[in-house]
């Protein structure tokens, strides 16, 4: 996942983007057992709870598949592009 983040986020926001994505994942790790407990308490069976819990992973896989990954320009080329834009 970290390799995908390296290509998905531009250099100037990479640390924030990676931290945010990891934080969302950790939040899901905290909330998932609580949600499962509520679902079991509501009388749902194991297969139903398993399917509901799998929807989070399916959603994450869908979002990852829609990322546009493009190679980052080397610093020398990026500097040339900036100077062309300015002048």
Q: What is the pLDDT of residues 40-71, one digit of tens each?
A: 999 999 999 999 999 988 998 898 888 776 66
Task: Point out the least confidently predicted range of 5-9, 32-36, 41-45, 76-80.
Answer: 76-80
Give residue 53's region: left, alpha or beta (phi > 0; psi -120 to 50).
alpha
The alpha-helical segments, DSSP class H, found in 1-87 are 2-8, 14-41, 46-65, 75-86
| Residue-level pLDDT at 60 | 85
pTM of the model: 0.62
Q: Which residue has the higher pLDDT, 54 or 80?
A: 54
List, as own/partner pairs, every contact residues 8-17 make where C-beta atoms lie below 8 angstroms and the sequence separation is at least 24, other chains included. 8/67, 8/68, 8/69, 10/72, 11/72
Q: Which of 78, 68, 82 is nearest to 4 (CA)?
A: 68
| Residue-level pLDDT at 36 | 96
């Amino acid at each position: 996942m970290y390799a995908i983040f390296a290509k998905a986020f531009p250099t100037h926001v990479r640390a924030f983007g990676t931290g945010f994505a990891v934080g969302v994942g950790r939040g899901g790790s905290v909330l998932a057992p609580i949600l499962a407990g509520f679902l079991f308490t509501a009388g749902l069976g194991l297969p139903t709870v398993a399917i509901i819990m799998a929807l989070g992973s399916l959603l994450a896989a869908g979002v990852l598949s829609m990322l546009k990954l493009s190679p980052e320009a080397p610093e020398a080329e990026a500097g040339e592009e900036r100077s062309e834009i300015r002048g």
